[in-house]
Amino acid sequence: MSSETAPSGFRQVLRDDALAGRRILVTGGGTGLGRAMAERFLGLGARVMICGRRSEVLERAAAEMGTLSTHPVETFPVDLRDAGRVEALFETAFADGEGPDTLINNAAANFVARSETLSHRALDAIIDTSLKGALYCTSAFGKRRLAAQAPGTVLSIITSYAWHGSPYVVPSAIAKAGLLTMTRSLAQEWGPRGIRFVALSPGAFPTKGAWERLVPRPELARRHETGNLTGRPGDPAELAELAAFLISDAAAYIHGECVTIDGGRWLKGVGTFGHLGALDEEDWTAMR
Ligand code: HXC
């Protein structure tokens, strides 16, 4: 879905130079929401690096995004579960003395399953990518920025079940809760030394990678996408605009905070008297 087709009324509002001069590494930047963010950052003047497991996917994405910037999109094939390879990625990215100043922890692994059926390898597949992979990246990024006494920004993609939990995606919920705690903890530890941490909590943003793994039947997709206070799914362009704002200088005073962008999904039905929406005029008159 794009901003042209979404019935959201969304339009981009950030200035064209909002991220000029910035160097941003997006994990999982070759597909889905990572790609949507990478494209927007390019459009706002940033240099962009993307990493992911499949080099052909990264190369194609970089070529397609090439028209958006005079700077080529750099690609780093890496499996984030491999701490040694993550370290090598950052060694390469920082080799020219101009490594990324911003890290987007976007890459995640997830699938729906009854928890009692999960093997230890299944647990590892999700936790190792979604939590440990992000930790490896944040550590490799942060220690280099701190050593150089240079400022930095880390944006991590969480989701609301980091707070309230969720059945059938328990390892992912644990991983996202960990990522949220990392955001708040490192904000306190590294914030005073110039590294700013923020997070985003998206609701239903249909992407091929997520929907293939998380939505077993079309009618369930519709329920998932419309079950919020707006009655529609999110547009990746909306998420990308918010991400760009959060990492920009305009958000310099937002620190250790997670912003939810879910159309009010997690609030829907939570209000104690929300069921009174079923009352008709006659009921309200009688109540009065
Ligand atoms: C039960 C499963 C399973 C399933 C895999 N496994 N899929 N178990 N149900 N549906 C088990 C396997 O049997 C194996 O255990 C172990 O997990 C590892 O599986 P592999 O296929 O060997 O691993 P791998 O090839 O590394 O694949 C990892 C993956 C895959 C997580 C399974 O889906 C992946 O790479 N995904 C990355 C992209 C992604 O997931 N995007 C969605 C993120 S969306 P055994 O014991 O058999 O060896 C997201 C948003 C959430 O997070 C918020 C929504 C609102």
pLDDT at residue 275 tops 90? no
Selected residue with higher pLDDT from 57 and 216: 57
Q: Does 147 reside within a domain?
A: yes
**By alpha-carbon position, which residue is closest to atom 38 of ligand 1?**
109
ipTM over 0.85: yes
108 alpha carbon to ligand 1 midpoint, in Å?
A: 10
110 CA to centre of ligand 1 in angstroms: 5
User: 227 pLDDT band (50/70/90 cuts)?
Assistant: very high
In a domain, 188, yes or no: yes
Closest CA to ligand 1's atom 53:
159
Average pLDDT over residues 192-219: 91
Q: Whose CA is closest to 28, among 5, 4, 48? A: 48
pLDDT tier at 203, thresholds 50, 70, 90:
very high
**pLDDT over 80 (residue 5):** no
C-alpha to C-alpha distance for 152 and 154, rounded to whole angstroms? 7
- Mean pLDDT score of the chain: 94
Q: Which atom of ligand 1 is nearest to the CA of 202?
A: 55
pLDDT of residue 2: 41
Question: From ligand 1's centre to the CA of 123, what distance in Å?
Answer: 9
Residue 172, amino acid:
S
Give pLDDT, residue 269: 79
**Between 117 and 69, the higher pLDDT residue:** 117
Tokens of 125: 């597949």
Band (pLDDT 50/70/90 cuts) for residue 7 is low
Share of the chain above pLDDT 90, in %: 84
Ligand 1 atom with the shortest distance to the CA of 224: 55
In a domain, 253, yes or no: yes
Per-residue model confidence (pLDDT) at position 1: 40
Q: Is residue 5 part of a domain?
A: no
Report how far residue 8's alpha carbon sits from residue 241's, in angstroms, rounded to the nearest whole number. 14
User: For the chain, what is the domain count?
Assistant: 1
Report the nearest-CA residue for atom 11 of ligand 1: 122
Which tokens is 223 given?
């329920």
Examine the residue annotation and report whether 161 is marked as an active-site residue of this protein.
Answer: yes
Per-residue confidence (pLDDT) for residue 271, from 0 to 100: 86
Instruction: Say how far apart CA 242 and CA 259 lie, in whole Å.
Output: 9
Task: Compute, in angstroms, the gap from residue 201 CA to the centroid of ligand 1.
Answer: 21
Establish if 10 belongs to a structural domain: no
Distances, alpha carbon 176 to alpha carbons 31, 40, 216, in Å:
20, 24, 22
Distance, in Å, from the CA atom of 232 to the CA atom of 216, rounded to the nearest integer, reads 19
**pLDDT score for 97:** 84
Q: What is the pLDDT of residue 108?
A: 97
Tell me the pLDDT tens digit for each residue of 55-92. 999 999 999 999 988 889 999 999 999 999 999 999 99
Looking at the chain, how many residues does it have?
Answer: 288
Indicate the residue type of 27.
Answer: T
Domain membership flag for residue 272: yes
1: tokens are 């879905």
- Mean pLDDT value of segment 105-115: 96
Looking at residue 98, its pLDDT comes to 86
Q: Which protein residues are within 6 Å of ligand 1, measured from CB?
A: 108-111, 113, 117-119, 121-122, 125-126, 159, 172, 209-210, 213
Nearest atom in ligand 1 to the alpha carbon of residue 122 is 17
Indicate the top mutation candidate among 121, 179, 200, 258 to test ligand 1's pocket, ranked by most ligand atoms within 8 A of CB.
121
More confident position, 273 or 130: 130
Domain range enclosing 277: 23-287
Please check whether residue 17 lies inside any domain of the structure: no
pLDDT tens, residue by residue, 244-272 = 999 999 999 999 999 999 999 999 978 88
Q: pLDDT at position 214, please?
A: 86
Residue 268 lies in a domain: yes
Summarize pLDDT for 148-192 with one digit per residue, the tens: 999 999 999 999 999 999 999 999 999 999 999 999 999 999 999
Q: Whose CA is nearest to atom 27 of ligand 1?
A: 125
Per-residue confidence (pLDDT) for residue 234, from 0 to 100: 96
Does the pLDDT value for residue 3 go beyond 70? no
CATH number of the domain that residue 36 is part of: 3.40.50.720
Q: What percent of the chain has pLDDT over 70?
A: 98
> Residue with the nearest Cα to atom 42 of ligand 1?
210
